[in-house]
Amino acid sequence: DIQMTQSPSSLSASVGDRVTITCQASQGFSNSVNWYQQRSGKAPKLLIHDASNLETGVPSRFSGSRSGTDFTFTISGLQPEDIATYYCQHYDNLLVTFGPGTKVDLK
């Protein structure tokens, strides 16, 4: 099974800061990594698909990229409404794996 490691597990940042989260796969595969935001008490929301594609309607301060087996999620200018937990998700032939999540809060 592919395992996803995600770092950091939590971070504190100020409004306007650049926030970066990394997911690493246990083995190499395609671009089938997606990123979700889960606000407290709410269902997850898809932000980025296929490593770097912004979902329709999602603000452009959110972005994603890939370098080898490392996938990076960035918020370029943290806003108060971005306080949430962020998850990466891998997909391979109908098998799905979520990363453990990164909790983002305000400093």
Q: How far is the CB of 85 from other proteins (least distance, A)?
A: 8
Per CB under 8 A, contacts with other proteins among 2-31 are: none
Contacts of 71 (CB under 8 A, 6+ apart): 22, 23, 24, 25, 33, 51, 64, 65, 88
Q: How far is the CB of 34 from other proteins (least distance, A)?
A: 5
With CB under 8 A as the contact rule, the residue among 16, 27, 94, 107 that binds other proteins is 94
Q: How far apart are the first and last CA of the chain?
A: 36
With CB under 8 A as the contact rule, the residue among 19, 23, 49, 84 that binds other proteins is 49
Q: Is 62 in the site for other proteins (CB under 8 A)?
A: no
Q: How far is the CB of 105 from other proteins (least distance, A)?
A: 15
Q: Is 55 in the site for other proteins (CB under 8 A)?
A: yes
Contact 41, 66 (CB under 8 A): no
Report the Cα 72 to chain-centroid distance in Å: 7
